[in-house]
Structure 1
Amino acid sequence: MAKVELKQPIVDEITALLADAQALVAVDYRGLTVEEDTQLRKTLREAGVTYKVYKNTLIKRAVAGTQWEEMAKVLEGPTAIAVSTEDATAPARVLFEASKKMPKLELKAGIVAGTFYDDQMIKVIATIPSREVLLGRLLGSMQGTIASFARVIKQIAEKGEDTAA
């Protein structure tokens, strides 16, 4: 069996992983201990993020000609990719938080919602709360406004009753 035939299923696996992805972040995991790596994988899994280590050449083949193609320029040295299909900021957020506790974990770059970001911009994206948190804040602010409006209407109605009596 030729080497290409052995590698094609892995390229197909990466392609399938990226098919419905909203975000992809690449990291250099060199120097992490087994305990740190295990904790990182657990945290990512809990956030709904897929974390895999592939050979750079296989990742480059899988992203060629796709919206993820710009990632090829940062694929040097040991690389792991974190992919999310649900929350576009989750990979950046979890990896950035982990890098604070694990200084050897280095963010390389990422693509979020079709846009390429370098390591510094990925750190900025990591500060954006999840979609659920943002929706909760929006709903909270809307409820506060509605509640204030209801109190004003009630006070006007009560004032109208007092003047009518």
Structure 2
Amino acid sequence: MLTKAQKAQIVAELAAEFKEAGAVVVCDYRGMTVEALEAVRNNAREQECKVRVVKNKLAQLAIKEAGCEELVLTDTNIFIWGETQVLPCKVADKAASDNKDHFSIKTGLIEGKAADLATINAMAKLPTRDELLGMLLNVWNAPVQNFTIGLDALRRKREEEA
């Protein structure tokens, strides 16, 4: 049993976290094994996201205190959040596809505004910042690569002629 002070501390910690979060995804995890939950937590940690099971009342208080749009929370919930908008959605989406029978995305917050399942799934499909930078680098490298390929072909042709 949590004391009133412990509950207040949890609410304060979560409110501070949720206020800074790009996205908070609320998922149902009923029936999941401990191993499967650990896999979700490990994936979240790799993506620099946080995962926590919180009582609905405490979570609602934290969401309200963070100045976010209120969510209706029922049953068992696990919260996944992070600084970016895309990564928590990707973590939740991966967990949902890996554990189809026991894990489902319910709702969430994107930049403090309530988001439905469709929005969260759409966010999960977007490329991350690092993926976008990789794409940009490929675009920038293409002209240089084509130029060097052309020069090499010209050199080979000259060598054959000589």
Q: TM-score range by the shorter chain?
A: 0.7 to 0.9
Query: Secondary structure of 2:125's partner?
Result: coil
Q: 1:46 maps to which residue? A: 46
Distance change (3 Å), C-alpha of 1:140 and 1:67: farther
Instruction: Answer yes or no: is the 8 Å Cα contact 2:22–2:111 preserved in 1.
Output: yes
Shift of 1:100: 1.0
Aligned length: 150
Report whether the alignment pairs 1:100 with 2:97. Answer: yes
Residue by residue, what CA displacement relative to the aligned partner does 1:35-59 show, whole Å, maximum 9, x if unpaired? 1111111111111110001111011
Separation in 1 of the partners of 2:108 and 2:4?
27
Match of 2:77 among 69, 79, 85: 79
Separation in 1 of the partners of 2:13 and 2:23?
17
Instruction: Answer yes or no: is the 8 Å Cα contact 1:56–1:76 preserved in 2.
Output: yes
Q: 1:16 maps to which residue? A: 16
Match of 1:125 among 123, 126, 132: 123
Separation in 2 of the partners of 1:15 and 1:66?
5
Shift of 1:89: 0.7
Shift of 1:98: 1.7
- Structure 2, unpaired ranges of 5+: 152-162
- Aligned-CA RMSD value: 2.5
Moved more, 93-102 or 113-122: 113-122
Instruction: Answer yes or no: is the 8 Å Cα contact 2:19–2:67 preserved in 1.
Output: no
- Structure 1, unpaired ranges of 5+: 155-165
Separation in 1 of the partners of 2:65 and 2:9?
18
Residue by residue, what CA displacement relative to the aligned partner does 1:107-138 show, whole Å, maximum 9, x if unpaired? 01122234432112211111112110011102
Per the normalisation by structure 1, the TM-score is: 0.79
Separation in 2 of the partners of 1:68 and 1:30?
26
Distance change (3 Å), C-alpha of 1:6 and 1:66: closer
Q: 2:37 maps to which residue? A: 37
Q: 2:63 maps to which residue? A: 63
Query: Secondary structure of 1:129's partner?
Result: coil
